[in-house]
Amino acid sequence: MDIPRIYNVTESAHRIHNPFTPEKLATLGAALRLDPGTRVLDLGSGSGEMLCTWARDYGISGTGIDMSRLFTEQAKLRAEELGVADRIDFIHGDAAGYVAEAKVGVAACVGATWIGGGVVGTIELLARSLCTGGIILIGEPFWLQLPPTEDVARGCRAGSISDFLMLPELLALFGELNYDVVEMVLADQDSWDRYEAAKWLTMRRWLAANPDDDFAKEVRAELDVAPQRHAAYTREYLGWGVFALMAR
Ligand code: SAH
């Protein structure tokens, strides 16, 4: 079981697989005013940077589940490196339908809401692991400006314009689901660049190291178009943020 290989190549050097910088991740952790010992569940935990740094900085414990073998391996190494491996577990597997045995204070899905079939289904899934009064974290894109055409939406790698909402509508959706939005930290163009532009150097180095790999053509094709596509579309049209929710 694994994710499509292109991500394991292009994001192999990323610690954060989202348009968030380490500073924004720390800001979010501080904003949540986490009590030491808080248990955190993270579905689609990637390379584990959120759980590992929050364990180091805010004393949380937790579990992450991710379908990428590589990212999960990197997450375990990061937990060792930061000296938090006794408090943070990483499981390689499909997080769809995953419910924690013991209820958690924070249940998160940051940039992987397809795991629950979209935002609504993911909130329902996370709620099943959450203790009363706990916080759900959802990391999700939204439109900064509405794409004028479906081609622009596809340039942002959305399936269509209807895949995402504008920020006020996304916040309204959380309300309609009977959740208060109690915090949010948003990406900006610089943090988008850290996510997207970091892939370009990774791809360039991967191509130099693997010229004869069957996959080289695909990676080359992606590197050829990625910078312009990012500048024309994602950087201009797509927002992203992590939203903290508490049930009303
Ligand atoms: N939350 C992490 C990773 C976000 S990227 C971070 O912010 O860094 C999306 C992640 O979802 C990837 O790590 C990918 O491997 C993982 N993923 C995709 N489908 C999954 C599934 N069905 N179950 C668990 N993880 C999944």
Task: Give whole-number Cα distances, 85 to 22, 51, 60, 61, 99, in Å.
Answer: 20, 10, 12, 9, 21
Residue 46 Cβ contacting ligand 1 at under 6 Å:
yes
Enter the pTM of the model: 0.97
Helix (H) or strand (E) holding 198: helix 189-209
Q: What pLDDT tens digit does each residue of the chain (248 aa) get?
A: 899 898 999 999 999 999 999 999 999 999 999 999 999 999 999 999 999 999 999 999 999 999 999 999 999 999 999 999 999 999 999 999 999 999 999 999 999 999 999 999 999 999 999 999 999 999 999 999 999 999 999 999 999 999 999 999 999 999 999 999 999 999 999 999 999 999 999 999 999 999 999 999 999 999 999 999 999 999 999 999 999 999 99
- The domain total for the chain is 1
Domain range enclosing 11: 5-247
Q: How far is the CA of 232 from the centre of ligand 1 (A)?
A: 26
Shortest-distance atom of ligand 1 to CA 65: 24
Structural tokens at position 17:
């697989």
Structural tokens at position 7:
């991500």
Task: Give the phi and the psi of residue 84 in degrees, each rounded to 5.
Answer: -120, 10
Pairwise CA distance, residues 78 & 73, whole Å: 9
Residue 110 Cβ contacting ligand 1 at under 6 Å:
yes
* Mutational test site, ligand 1, from 10, 14, 52, 68, max ligand atoms within 8 Å of CB: 68
DSSP codes of every residue in 38-65: -EEEEET-TT-HHHHHHHHHH--EEEEE
Listed in sequence order, the residues at least 6 apart from 98 whose beta carbon sits closer than 8 Å to its beta carbon are: 43, 65, 125, 129
CATH of the domain at 154: 3.40.50.150
